[in-house]
A and B are shown apart, each in its own frame.
Chain A
Amino acid sequence: MSKIREAFANGKAFIAFLTAGDPTAECTVNYILEIEKAGADLIEIGIPFSDPTAEGVVIQEASLRALKGGMTTEGVFQIVEEVRKKSQVPLALMTYLNPVFHYGYEAFFSRCQSLGVDGIIVPDLPFEEKGEVEEVAARFGVDVVSLIAPTSKERIRLIAKEAKGFIYVVSSMGVTGVRSKITTDIDGMVKEIRAVTDTPCAIGFGISTPEQAAEMAGYADGVIVGSAIVKLIEKNGANAEEELYRYVSSMKAAIK
């Protein structure tokens, strides 16, 4: 069982996202540890990319802040190294394919393995292109997480059958970001997935309140929250620990 599966071993999983280097590398290390303490089961660390076409404005701006601060792919690995000195929380990296391509697939996934990164989420790597990294990621024991969207329809089974780690169920059309309402038939999507695989499903895009989290967790094995967390960091800068702890605890409590 990969470490990612462990994240789903204690009831519904709370998956938290934050952008590496926003506002600083030291803050990111501390925030990851704080978020884990507050009950997060898996933490997604965003490697900032200049042109994140699947992100809403909150994560776009966090990415640009991190890049302005000098964050690099190597810098993200150093953050992971620091975290791993104190924590064994399951970790996934989230980024676009170009930074991975430039680091070199072999070098990237071998680094992931040696530092204990369990998975990677790449929004611009659909099923058709996963051959780009599939073999090398598997060789280094890193799960390439598959995304399934409201438009996936007959592709759901195709994607789910080969999914590794967990399945990222995209709750809504468009980009990441807080939404007041999620209108997709999530229940139907998850049932379709479960017909072909027992790989856990986590729902992301648009979730920010404990009520939404509780509702979504009812359909699946976990929920993913990004923009709401990044917003807290944007608001509190280098002093976000307390608010992060309070927020993540309330979200985890809501889905237990």
Chain B
Amino acid sequence: MKENMISRGRYGNYGGQYIPETLMNELIHLEESYEFYRKDKDFLKELDTLFKEYAGRPSLLYYAEKMTKDLGGAKIYLKREDLNHTGSHKINNVLGQALLAKKMGKTRLIAETGAGQHGVATATAAALFGMECEIFMGEEDTERQALNVYRMELLGAKVHPVKSGTRTLKDAVNETMREWASRVDDTLYVLGSVMGPHPFPMIVRDFQSVISREARAQILEKEGKLPSAVVACVGGGSNAMGAFYNFIEDKEVRLIGCEAAGKGVDTALTAATIATGSVGIFHGMKSYFCQDEFGQIAPVYSISAGLDYPGIGPEHAYLHDTGRAEYVPVTDDEAVAAFEYMARTEGIICAIESAHAIAHVQKIAGSMDRDDIIIVNISGRGDKDVAAIARYRGRDIHE
């Protein structure tokens, strides 16, 4: 596998370690530990066992026959990360990082969460490994996803509602970084996406790359050829990076990331970073961000709490600049319609995040040939979103 990382922690011009000195030694320690364990047979075997016996991997690659017929073009396969334990791809990264934390002698995990999927996954791993766990979640998100807050508490985690700034995901990241800077000795910040300072974008990508490793083998077995396109939703970009990674060298495979456009890319109520953002330096990395002309980070909006982030991981920024991957905006309206379409057509209630990818597949599949194949990553299940979708449709249902 060719490495996009051109020099240490850099994807082209992107990435880096723009982080306070207090955390630098800890990041170096994390990088050194990871470099050792990524090649350690016992570590890899333990992780593989966790994936198989605990998370339920490999996840299915399911042929969506009804959807394929309905859209009348490319053959559509769904990579079912929603069937993983805890209901999303987040568990892949969390099991890897928690195992790494254990090897490093850490006893406490902290993490940010948006929709709550990463928080639930981290709380789950902490319970499994017998570690302390504290989750930082924007106050607004704790209201949008109250059930996930209770779920994390059931798993033994302490949930801190973050009241600063816009009270959403970026503020949760700010607060988790502040917490980590105050206590590093026994604590690992289990970052939830392919973002932040090096080595996080690399570590999270590697643990998530199991998605494309499986999907590539599965499609070759089922169809005897590679897909024409891989489609995934992108906030920070971990499920997309995981779904893209092992296809990057296969130049004939289009890689398409679907950003949350919110109310539209021509409005202020959007979270589409590539479509509306510019290059900047924030949260430890150089990448694209939604921000104003002075470099103040913009408040972002999406119906999906998991995509409601003003930045994108540095490797995505690089894949965008080099043209290897395409990034397209998908609005709330389109995502909600796709959420309903999936439920009715395939009997799958997917996460509103994943519905952004489905919406784009609805747009492109029909104009593709019947012997084209699209793999779309269903990053998570949609139970958490049902009440919000009902409210979006004017039914006053609360969890």
Residues of A within 8 A of B (CB): 49-51, 53-54, 56-57, 60, 64, 67, 72-73, 96-103, 123-129, 147-153, 155, 159, 170, 173-175
Contact = CB atoms under 8 A, between A and B. Distances in A.
A126 B17 contact: yes
A205 B297 CA distance: 25
Interface in B159-187: 164-165, 170-171, 174, 177-178, 181-184
A124 B295 CA distance: 14
Given A64-B165, A126-B24, A98 B297 contact: yes
B281 interface: yes
Interface string B291-322: 10111110000000000000000000000000
Given A96-B282, A151-B184, A155-B21, 13 more contacts: A51-B282, A57-B164, A99-B295, A100-B295, A102-B291, A123-B20, A126-B20, A129-B18, A149-B20, A149-B24, A155-B24, A173-B22, A173-B184
B284 interface: yes
Interface string B208-242: 00000000000000000000000000000000000
B22 A170 contact: yes
Contacts of A128: 16-17, 24
Taking chain B's interface residues, is the majority helix, strand, or loop, or is none over half, making it mixed? mixed
Contacts of B178: 53-54, 56, 174-175
Given A124-B19, A149-B22, A152-B21, A101 B295 contact: yes
A125 B18 contact: yes
A44 B284 CA distance: 23
Given A126-B19, A147-B21, A151-B22, A51 B165 contact: yes
A150 B281 CA distance: 25
Given A124-B20, A159-B21, A173-B22, A50 B297 contact: yes
B287 to A, nearest CB: 11
B12 interface: no
Contact of A99 (B181, B182, B296): B296
Contacts of A126: 17-21, 24
Contacts of A125: 18
Nearest to B284: A124
Contacts of B284: 124
